[in-house]
Amino acid sequence: MVLAVYAGVLGATLATTEDDSAALLTRLSEFHQHQQELNSLTEQQAESAEISELAESIAVDHHLLDEWLQEAGHDERQRGDDAAYSNDEQQQAYEALQSQDGAEFDRQFLDYQMNVHRQALDLLQEIPPESLEDAERANHLKVTYEALRKHLGMLQNHRQEDVGLSESE
């Protein structure tokens, strides 16, 4: 369920209005919650302790960002009916990830996370925080953008280390 609404994040194009920022915050909340789901999946299926630690670190950040949204009054009751996947490719990638374990899970986890983080960053760029009148929303978008950039860098570093290990074997 969390992933279903979250997938709408990646297929959406939003204008720069307060209403659109509210829709974006709803989708970000789903993305934050999806990271909790990914962390649980990683605990069960990852081979590498480093991948598990990375997933936990990312999930902690997203938990804090989601709590911030909830405290600001953005709760689940605001979610719309677009709980269906608008991105079949993303749905298939997540299902493929769920079916893996061990080293193959680790590899697919990194690829999946890099992809969804890039897509979320692209979406966040559609609504410049400076265009919003609500300072709390603008600040959340700025902080979320920086957190996603940090996560993407961490994921890319792990992926490069993984590729380097494979090539040296």
Q: What pLDDT is recorded for position 37?
A: 94
3-state secondary structure 53-96: HHHHHHHHHHHHHHHHHHHCCCCHHHCCCCCCCCCHHHHHHHHH
Q: What pLDDT is recorded for position 26?
A: 85
Question: Could you tell me the CATH number of the domain that includes residue 50?
Answer: 1.20.1260.10
Range of the structural domain that residue 41 is part of: 2-168
pTM recorded for the entire structure: 0.80
**Domains held by the chain: number:** 1
List the chain residues with pLDDT less than 50.
Answer: 1-9, 11-16, 76-86, 167-169
Cα–Cα distance measured from residue 36 to residue 60, given in angstroms and rounded to the nearest whole number: 8
